Structure formats: structure tokens, C-alpha cells
Chains A and B, each alone.
Chain A
């Protein structure tokens, strides 16, 4: 570890901090409708609304907003499911792939609509260019826009006074795609193309390697999908090995750009949120807590990766990592992609040292709130904010208030449901898989490492992360159906309570703040919030983590590997 190794992580986080207010202000302008857009875009927007029969000015209450969202997402799942079954009849299929299995098609459809992008399939051997572009890439945009819509509704609920108007779902989705995700993706695709990411419709190449062996090299329209995969924190790779593949992530610079893309929208949304609630400090406190958790996780991971490993008699664990990126960039990528609910990988997480693997798991188990998915990270974090405000509010002797809104039984009930439902899905299904035959037969490695593979799989699905602890054969009906269901529960089990909270808060009056008001924009609140997140997460998963990565770590120190 040399000083220059710190340069890249430091530069990345610095750039994120610099771009957060810039993009944050832009997003605020877009969603408040206060920013004037070039005529060509506003024409598209107007026509789109016109043809779809949407009146963008009409506000929705939480039920209507949620109903529109669920219908919209359900339609997405059905479309994606069907398109996989009929891909054999569709164009842009140079390799002639046939229909996908029902259970895999279900899993993949749910996975992309829920912004999880868990991939039980290998892109280059399963899906045609048409399905990847018209199916998966489209959902990459829409699932990210759905996340943004939910956080917008929640922010409106927090800031409006005695109203039931949470905004218009369709307007929010259209604006997210048209003014944020689409232009962003175009810019990023061009940058990635410049680094050598491919974009073509050619059939796969058959070449003879230098050793004289024949090799098939997959082709395809990768760049257009990679940009939104990062920007929308989706994480579903065009190729099976995701961002470790040289056509997806060829150079250290492309690696840097991809990490930046994962973080930037979730980070900027904290600033947008601060502007919306009328205090940029509120946004920065949340940003600070997220950043602290990210840096802390990264430090633990890096320390663990670079510690002496008596089992291998070495301090460098390079198996499963790309030489192009090295240890620091692999660990940085793994911390970011798990914290941010992206799920793209540039190294195999199974090959991380046990503690680095544990950090990745904890990042997901905490509910994907370390910046988290686009929109979903922030609303997930606000759930913890509500719990923290409640406990802290009681401690200062007042009915807990958040930004002037009273936090009462219904908010607590919904916040508890949102936290509980993800944890329950992870714990129960890991328990089932670790004793049932169909669950165990997919496990590649023995001992605690195998247990980590199962635990990671369900955490990743419930947290809508989508990355995998490679090693588990996930393309079995058992895992396809269960992880598919868990992804649905993990996504909508949080969105629904969040929308209920948004609706309920919107109807409340705002109490003016005074000397006795508990403030949420200072250091002490940041400390408390961090504490609540870590303690709730730790208490829920500590026993399971003991039997997985912690046991493996201690054994590794004793020279035993799995």
C-alpha cells in the first residue's frame, strides 16, 4: 500500500462532493419545474403527456400515486417476461437464442423492474440484443425513475402542509428519464466508447488466440446499456462478468467513470432533498452519514485485504480480481457497488477477504442506504431518520418531530414494517436454503464460505442490490423463484410503507421550530443516526454473520481456508 493508492479513492470522493451540489441543484430545478428546458425537450414532454392523456398538473394523493407506480411496474414485469419468452422470433438475435426458461424469465423480469439486476443468467449466452436493449435497458431507466418518483413523493409529503398532494407520478417519471437519465447516459456512453467499450450489432467473433486455440468473443450494444446500468444504480451487466469484462470496463479511467456514475445521482439527491426541505444542512447531514459509512466500510475492507494472510502466506489476495484495477480499485468498487445498491462488480466478491466480503454484505443488509439506489437509498435512509428522530425526540422530552412533522404511531409502524420486511426476507430464506437440499446443492464452497454465499444471495435480492457472491449456482428453479419473490418483497415492501408515510405526513401541520425542538441538521444527530443504523443492522444480523464471514476470518487467521 503506497500513498498514491489513496489518490484515486480520495479523488473520487472529492469529485462526488463537488458534483453533489451542482447536480443536486439541477435536479431540484427539474423536479420543481422551475428550470427552463430547451424547447426540443419541453416539446417532447408536452407531446408525450398529450398522447398518453396525462395532465401533468394534476396532483395525486398517496393512494393514486402508489397505484400508478404499481401498475406501471407490473406492466414492466409482464412485458419483460413475455419478451424473453418470444426472443427467438424477434430481430437482432444473431446468435439465434431461443426462449428463456419460465423461472429464469420471471426472475430476470422482476430483477430489472425492481432495480435489483440480479442476474441468474449470463447475458452473452442467454439474451439477444433486442431483449437486452428494448427490455433490460428500458427497465434500467424506468426502475431508476421509479425510485426517484418515490423519494420526490416522500419529500413533498414532508414539506407540504395539511394537504394530500404528493405530485404527479407520470410527470416525475417522464422528467427523470427525459432530463436526467437520458442525457446523462448519452454523455457517459460516449465517454465509455472513448475508452473502448463496444457498441455494435455484430454476431460473435470466432478467433484463434495466440496460443492457437479457437475462442468465441461476444459482441453487442454494450456502451448504451453500461451507462444507465451505472447511472441508474441498476448493475445488470451486458456480459456475465459485468464490469470485470474488458468490453464493459476496459481501462482504469472507465473504471473511475463507472464508480463516479454509481454514486453521483444518489449523492446529488441528498442535496436536492436539502433544497426541497428548505435547509441544505439537512441534506448535507444525510450525505455526511452516508459518506462516513462508505469510507468506514472501505477502510475495513482495504485493511482486511492488505493484512497478512497466514493461509496463503501472502498479503496480496489477487485471485478473482482484475489486474487492470488492482486491489484498491477492486475493494473500492465492491464497497461502492454494495453500499449504493448497484450490484455491478469489477471483481468477484467471493474472492474478497472474509471481512471485506462481510462489509459488502453489511452494506446491503443495512437496507441499501449508503447512498443507496437512485431514490431508494434516500427514502431508505429517511426510514432510519424517522426511527432515530423518534428515539431521540423522546429523549429530549417532546413528541418526536421531523422537520416540524410529528412522528406518531402510524409513521413508526410503517418504518418498522419497511425495516422488518427486508430483514425477515433475508433471515427466513437463508434459513430455508441452508437446510433444504435444493438450497444446499447450489453451494460451491464448504464451511462458512458456503454459508456466506447463501446469505449474500438473499441479502442481495432483498436489498435490491443484484450483485452475487460468485460461487452459488443461482440459475435453479429454487433460487430463481425465491430470489424473484424476495426482490419483489424487498422493493415494494419498502415503497408501500414509504408512500403511506408520505401521505400521512402530507396531511399534518408543520410545527415551527423553537429552542425545545430537536434539530436534525447537526453533528450530534449525524452521530445518533449512524449509531441507530449500525446497531439495528448489527443486532439483526450479527448471529448470521458470526457463522459466515466472521468464522471464516478467524479460521483464515489460523491458516484454514474454504
Chain B
């Protein structure tokens, strides 16, 4: 998928060419009222041309008009077909990757070989090195390195393991090492890969809210012009009678049709769907799969972004980097207690504590004696983990490790109190930007474990970039306020929420939304799922859990949280391209009026066969009435083709304030839209008259 697709490859070009004719089917054009009208106009002109020919009268002018009207529709279809074609190329590449594979299904302790297509939800399969994972699932047992290049294009393998936030595997990816047991989570035909393919193919593409509103505006403009043009023959008849002309020689229908097609917003109307499809395509190029176009558009509107600290702002996991005992406690006592309390903690932090203690205090696995013990697993709710030891003699030892406030509650409920020294150490650790974990045994605090957080390189610049776009970043973390403040200052986020419980993410999103903000959320864990679903734009990391991927409306295949910047840019580009082309299209009409109206009206109120008064409106000094009308129609058709690259690539976006962006676009597309057609029409007119084809 990383493979670059050129805007025009030969194959793409011919496919698009074929499709642009297939799309002439009025049933397909109904969704695009502007182009439907152009097609109706082309049909009318063709009928008039043919009935003229059958009556022995051939009009070269009508002939050329009909041809150019058909071209206008074809050019628009071509733009759409090219945009779709690029998506199809991606989808085909994916389909090739989805070979028919065998699955080894475990049922009742026996393993049977079946076709992957027969797998159902909640089946269990076993995969070993070299196997293609048959369907989306969750690892229930084992750890493996997986090659996900089929969907991400990234060749470096990733680690997938049971438990925690890295348990999801995607059908079609390849196990490189080890052996895992997978619980299947999707029905055939509804896998992640199937979803991606159907999204890319545009099969399920629905119009976005802004696109709907714009279509209404364009339809409204079309009706206004339809009225302005269809009432014209009546006014003209009055004027002919007043000028003493024969009222039977009213403006011919092909000329009226030409005026109508030139006035209605064909430029934007013709490119509208291509813009939308290419937006989706540009997301895919950046390895982001959006569930809907609506989500991409919403991304452009984000004003608040909520980021989970861990794995987003800081490098993956915090590592234990030291233990600090209280002055009355032996370092080894604390080290051993830390180790015991982490045995049941299978979070990366927990494992890092074990590793740290083992390495620094030379404790071997064999030295660990737990005897009669029960484990207290880490839960996000209590934010503690630990162990309860019941030695044969003496009272039970309850060892806990957790955040200061959690341990405070634990110690106090046991009837003890936290010594003042603990607070000093915690504060010191936190102010270094590290996370302090307090260890306690029964009602006695033993000391503090220091977990080091490493802020990702270059992230500060990325947040500054977001700020320029008008997006406020909020870091959300379970850390205490001091740590959170230190890290947020280092990372350059605008605000942070510390000591947050999982449900705080949801509450924070709701409260920002109530203030009228559009909130984006990046997350990967299962406990992020509600927040991802609540956020206006929820971006799930592909490495995250299945629940997170289901809840979000975008999945980042690269699992790179700062990808949001690109997502926002694509969203904004999408809207800007539509706005810019609408402005351009409307501004174009001024010049077209000055081309066509004098050509229509030149004979009115004329004296002695000279050009009438309204001939003076021919400020471009176009050669003849016929060439003037043709030039306008040709310009109108050709401009669609010329703007296809812009529609596919999008208007350039630089992060800047709204007024600045507006000024630039207004100058380029507004003023440009006023002037360009005057030059274009004049040039075409010169060419037509030079070739003497009008």
C-alpha cells in the first residue's frame, strides 16, 4: 500500500476513460443534479442537431455545441472515475494479499484443518510461525512476532501477545515466530480487511454533511440560473417587438442551453464527488483507514485533542529506573517487596520492576518464595497491585504497590499513616517527570519505585503545529499532578488531566463537547473504547485491542499518534478544496455573461443593421457571436479537466489562522476565478477564429 500511485498511470487512465462513458447513465448521474442538467442539455442539443440534419439542415455550430456539452459531462465523469480508480487499485492490492488460507481450528481439544472462510465468531484457532492468520482475532495465549505489512506496508514485524493492549491480530497478516492461540472475533465477510476493501472501493461511500449542504447550495444556484435563462426568451420577445424585429426569431434553444450550462456551477459540480473520494484515498495513503467520510470531515473541525500519555506522548512504557527506600528501611527489603508486589502485575511497568530488581539486587527466580499466597491484580480502578502472603507462622503480609493516593488509602484503612518522608520523595521523583510508585507492607510504607517516562522526540514541534491549526491538546494520565505537569511541559501540551481514572477520559470528552468543542481522542487500550466511541473523531491504534479498533472511527495502521496532524490536514483540505472550487465556479460566471449576453443581444435596437447597443458589452472583443458562445462553452468544459489534479490532490494547506487562509484562498480562487475566464475565453476565441471553425 505504500506503493505510490501516480495520478495518471496508463492502466488507470484507460479504465477511467471507459468508466466515464459508463457513468453517462442518467441513473448514475441523479446524485449530481448539476451534471444531470448538463446531460439533459446535451441530449436536447443533440436531438435538435439530428432533427435538423434529417430535415436537410446541418448546423456546424449546433454540432460543436453538442460535442462540447457531452465533453463537459464526460470530463466530470472522468474526474470521478480517476478518483475511484486510484482507490480500486489499492483495494485490488489488498485483495491479492487475502489469499485463501487454511485454519487450524481447536474444538474440544482436537485440531481440525478447515478453510478460513468457515470460521465463525468465538472459534479458537492455533497459528504458528509461517502461518497466515485466518481471520481477525484476539490472542488468548502466547506471544508472537507478526508481519503486518499486508495492511500497513510496514515491513518491520510487530509483537502481539495475550493480555494487555497488544492482543489484536488481523486476518491476512503473517505469524513470523512462536505460537499463539487466537479467538476469532469477526464473522466471515465482516473482517477488518473486508471493511478496508469496501471502504476503499467507495462502495459504501455516503455523502458527508458538508457535502450535502454544498449540494443543496449548488442545486439552489442551478435553479436560480435555470430561472434566469428560461425567462430570457420572454424578455427577449418583448425586446424584439420593441426593436421592430420578427419575434419568431427568438433565441435558439441550443444558445439558451449553452448559456445555462456555462452559468450553473459545473466546475464544482463536476469535481465534487472526485474531491470526496480522493480525500478517502489520501487518508489511505497515509495509512489511516477512516470508517466514513464524515469522520475525515470532522477531523478538520477538531478543536480539542485528548491524548493518552502513555504510548502517545511518551515512549511506549515506563521503566523502573530506581528504588528509593525510606531512611528507616533497608534497600533490599524494599527491593524484595517491590518484586513480590509486581509478580501479578503483567503491565509493562510491572514487568520492568521485576527486571530492575532482579538485575540490580541479584535475585534469581529460584530465590522467590511466595509460599501460600494470593495475588492482587492491578486494576485501573484501585490502581494498585500486590500480593497477600500467608506464612505458616505469623500474621498475613499484605504487600501493595501503587500510586500515592491509592497506597495512602490502603495504609490508612489498615490503621497506619504515611510518613512525611514519603511525600518528600514522591514530590522529588514527580518533579523529575518520573512516576513514583509507593510500596507498602501492611500499614508501613517501605519506599518508592521510580518509573521513568521518556517523551518522544520531536513531539513538541508536532503539538506546536496543532496549536497553529487551532487545536488544543490535553494530555490525560493516571500520574500525579507533579509528574503530569513536568511531562506536559516537556512535551508542550496545552493542558493535562492527572490522576485520571479510565472513566475520566469519557467525562472529559463529554464536558468539552458540552462546551461546544469537537473532540478527538487517540487511544489503544480496551479501557479507551468508551472514550473513542464518545469522541467526534476516535483514532484507534492498529496495535491496540480489538475493542478499541471497533470503537474508533479511524484506525491508524502505523500506530503513530501524531498522525492526527495529517488526518486533520486531509479533513481541512477536503473542505477547502470544495470551498475554493465553489468560489471559483461562481466567480467564473461574470466573464461568461460578458461573453454570451452580448452575442445573444447584439441585434436588439440596432439601427441600420449596425450592432445594437448591447453589443458594447462585448468587452472581450470576441470575434463573432457564435465563436463567443462556443468559447465560453469550451472554456467551461476544459476547466474541469484542468482542475482534476487540484481536486485529487487538494488545495494546499498550511497551518495558519482562519483569516490568513481565507485571504489567500480568496485571492487565488475568488479573484483568480473572476479573471481567469476572461483570459481563457479570449484565447479560445482567438483560436476558433484563427481556425475558422465557428
A-binding segment of B40-48, B510-518, B621-629: B510-518
CB of A535 closer than 8 Å to a CB of B: yes
CB of A394 closer than 8 Å to a CB of B: yes
Please tell me if the beta carbons of B583 and A547 are within 8 angstroms of each other in the complex.
Answer: no
Take A396-B662, A397-B576 as given contacts and tell me if A428 and B223 are in contact as well, using a CB distance cutoff of 8 Å. Answer: no
* Chain B at the A interface: SS class: helix
Please tell me if the beta carbons of B469 and A516 are within 8 angstroms of each other in the complex.
Answer: yes
CB of A430 closer than 8 Å to a CB of B: yes
Contact with A along B568-602 (1 / 0, CB 8 A): 00011111101110110011011001000100010
Take A430-B231, A431-B231, A519-B658 as given contacts and tell me if A512 and B516 are in contact as well, using a CB distance cutoff of 8 Å. Answer: yes
- Give residues 530-558 of A contacting B (CB, 8 Å): 531, 535-536, 538-544, 546-547, 550-551, 554-555, 558
- A394, A423, A447, A519: the one contacting B227 at CB < 8 Å is A423
Please tell me if the beta carbons of B670 and A531 are within 8 angstroms of each other in the complex.
Answer: yes
Take A399-B297, A399-B300, A510-B516 as given contacts and tell me if A519 and B239 are in contact as well, using a CB distance cutoff of 8 Å. Answer: no
Contact with A along B236-247 (1 / 0, CB 8 A): 111100110000
Residue of A nearest to B592 (CB): A539
Please tell me if the beta carbons of B613 and A391 are within 8 angstroms of each other in the complex.
Answer: no
Chain A residues contacting B301 (CB-CB under 8 Å) are 398-399
Take A412-B213, A522-B659 as given contacts and tell me if A512 and B515 are in contact as well, using a CB distance cutoff of 8 Å. Answer: yes
Chain A residues contacting B213 (CB-CB under 8 Å) are 390, 407-409, 411-413
Chain A residues contacting B298 (CB-CB under 8 Å) are 399
Take A398-B572, A412-B216, A524-B659 as given contacts and tell me if A547 and B224 are in contact as well, using a CB distance cutoff of 8 Å. Answer: no
Take A399-B575, A404-B516 as given contacts and tell me if A447 and B225 are in contact as well, using a CB distance cutoff of 8 Å. Answer: no
- B236, B469, B590, B661: the one contacting A547 at CB < 8 Å is B236
Please tell me if the beta carbons of B263 and A512 are within 8 angstroms of each other in the complex.
Answer: no
CA distance A560 to B467 in the complex (A): 65
- A395, A434, A542, A546: the one contacting B576 at CB < 8 Å is A395
CB of A416 closer than 8 Å to a CB of B: yes
CB of A446 closer than 8 Å to a CB of B: yes
Please tell me if the beta carbons of A396 and B576 are within 8 angstroms of each other in the complex.
Answer: yes
Please tell me if the beta carbons of A451 and B239 are within 8 angstroms of each other in the complex.
Answer: yes
Contact with B along A430-444 (1 / 0, CB 8 A): 111011000010000
Please tell me if the beta carbons of B575 and A398 are within 8 angstroms of each other in the complex.
Answer: yes
- A394, A544, A550: the one contacting B210 at CB < 8 Å is A394
Please tell me if the beta carbons of A547 and B580 are within 8 angstroms of each other in the complex.
Answer: no
Residue of A nearest to B297 (CB): A399
- A440, A543, A555, A558: the one contacting B235 at CB < 8 Å is A543
Chain B residues contacting A430 (CB-CB under 8 Å) are 231, 234-235
Shortest beta-carbon distance, A440 to chain B, in Å?
8
Chain A residues contacting B236 (CB-CB under 8 Å) are 547
Please tell me if the beta carbons of B217 and A416 are within 8 angstroms of each other in the complex.
Answer: yes
Residue of A nearest to B515 (CB): A512
Number of interface residues of A (CB under 8 A): 69
CB of B278 closer than 8 Å to a CB of A: no
Take A398-B575, A514-B303, A535-B586 as given contacts and tell me if A528 and B601 are in contact as well, using a CB distance cutoff of 8 Å. Answer: no
CB of A518 closer than 8 Å to a CB of B: yes
Shortest beta-carbon distance, A562 to chain B, in Å?
9
CB of A448 closer than 8 Å to a CB of B: yes
CA distance A467 to B666 in the complex (A): 37
Chain A residues contacting B617 (CB-CB under 8 Å) are 546, 550
Chain A residues contacting B589 (CB-CB under 8 Å) are 535, 539
Please tell me if the beta carbons of B234 and A432 are within 8 angstroms of each other in the complex.
Answer: yes
CA distance A214 to B28 in the complex (A): 77
Please tell me if the beta carbons of B658 and A516 are within 8 angstroms of each other in the complex.
Answer: yes
Chain A residues contacting B470 (CB-CB under 8 Å) are 514-517
Chain A residues contacting B516 (CB-CB under 8 Å) are 404, 509-512
- Give residues 621-673 of B contacting A (CB, 8 Å): 653, 657-659, 661-663, 665-666, 669-670
- B574, B579, B605, B657: the one contacting A447 at CB < 8 Å is B605
Chain A residues contacting B471 (CB-CB under 8 Å) are 516
CB of A495 closer than 8 Å to a CB of B: no
Chain B residues contacting A404 (CB-CB under 8 Å) are 516
Chain B residues contacting A440 (CB-CB under 8 Å) are 238
Of A393, A399, A430, the most chain B CB neighbours within 10 A belong to A399
CA distance A424 to B224 in the complex (A): 7
Please tell me if the beta carbons of A547 and B235 are within 8 angstroms of each other in the complex.
Answer: yes
CB of A427 closer than 8 Å to a CB of B: yes
Chain B residues contacting A515 (CB-CB under 8 Å) are 467-470, 657-658
Chain B residues contacting A512 (CB-CB under 8 Å) are 303, 515-517
* Chain A at the B interface: SS class: helix
Shortest beta-carbon distance, A472 to chain B, in Å?
14
Residue of A nearest to B671 (CB): A531
CB of A207 closer than 8 Å to a CB of B: no
CA distance A408 to B207 in the complex (A): 13
Chain B residues contacting A181 (CB-CB under 8 Å) are none
Chain B residues contacting A510 (CB-CB under 8 Å) are 516
Shortest beta-carbon distance, A12 to chain B, in Å?
33
- Give residues 367-419 of A contacting B (CB, 8 Å): 387, 390-400, 404, 407-409, 411-413, 416-417, 419
Please tell me if the beta carbons of A435 and B237 are within 8 angstroms of each other in the complex.
Answer: yes
Chain B residues contacting A450 (CB-CB under 8 Å) are 238, 242
Of A420, A516, A536, A541, the most chain B CB neighbours within 10 A belong to A516
Take A448-B242, A551-B604, A554-B614 as given contacts and tell me if A397 and B217 are in contact as well, using a CB distance cutoff of 8 Å. Answer: no
CB of B220 closer than 8 Å to a CB of A: yes
CB of B212 closer than 8 Å to a CB of A: yes
Please tell me if the beta carbons of A539 and B583 are within 8 angstroms of each other in the complex.
Answer: no
CA distance A544 to B601 in the complex (A): 11
- Give residues 196-237 of B contacting A (CB, 8 Å): 209-210, 212-214, 216-217, 219-220, 223-225, 227-229, 231-232, 234-237
Chain B residues contacting A431 (CB-CB under 8 Å) are 231, 234-235
CB of B472 closer than 8 Å to a CB of A: yes
CB of B115 closer than 8 Å to a CB of A: no
Please tell me if the beta carbons of A399 and B228 are within 8 angstroms of each other in the complex.
Answer: no
Please tell me if the beta carbons of A511 and B517 are within 8 angstroms of each other in the complex.
Answer: yes
CB of B616 closer than 8 Å to a CB of A: yes
Contact with A along B466-485 (1 / 0, CB 8 A): 01111110000000000000
Please tell me if the beta carbons of B224 and A539 are within 8 angstroms of each other in the complex.
Answer: yes
- A409, A411, A451: the one contacting B238 at CB < 8 Å is A451
Residue of A nearest to B471 (CB): A516
Of B231, B238, B669, the most chain A CB neighbours within 10 A belong to B238
Chain B residues contacting A416 (CB-CB under 8 Å) are 216-217, 219-220
CA distance A560 to B242 in the complex (A): 13
Please tell me if the beta carbons of A394 and B604 are within 8 angstroms of each other in the complex.
Answer: no
Chain A residues contacting B234 (CB-CB under 8 Å) are 430-432, 434-435
- Give residues 215-244 of A contacting B (CB, 8 Å): none
Chain A residues contacting B575 (CB-CB under 8 Å) are 393-395, 397-399
CA distance A536 to B467 in the complex (A): 36
Take A394-B575, A394-B576, A395-B662 as given contacts and tell me if A555 and B303 are in contact as well, using a CB distance cutoff of 8 Å. Answer: no
Contact with B along A243-263 (1 / 0, CB 8 A): 000000000000000000000
Inter-chain pairs besides A397-B575, A434-B234, A450-B242, 11 sampled, C-beta below 8 Å: A394-B210, A398-B572, A399-B301, A412-B216, A509-B514, A517-B470, A540-B227, A551-B239, A551-B601, A551-B604, A554-B613
11 chain-A/chain-B pairs, Cβ below 8 angstroms:
A387-B217, A393-B579, A431-B234, A451-B242, A511-B303, A519-B659, A531-B670, A535-B589, A539-B224, A539-B228, A542-B597
Give the A-binding residues of B (Cβ under 8 A): 209-210, 212-214, 216-217, 219-220, 223-225, 227-229, 231-232, 234-239, 242-243, 263, 297-298, 300-301, 303, 467-472, 514-518, 571-576, 578-580, 582-583, 586-587, 589-590, 593, 597, 601, 604-605, 612-614, 616-617, 653, 657-659, 661-663, 665-666, 669-670
Give the B-binding residues of A (Cβ under 8 A): 387, 390-400, 404, 407-409, 411-413, 416-417, 419-420, 423-424, 427-428, 430-432, 434-435, 440, 446-448, 450-451, 509-512, 514-519, 522, 524, 528, 531, 535-536, 538-544, 546-547, 550-551, 554-555, 558, 560
Which 5 A-B residue pairs are closest in the complex by CB-CB distance?
A516-B470, A394-B579, A397-B572, A416-B220, A395-B579
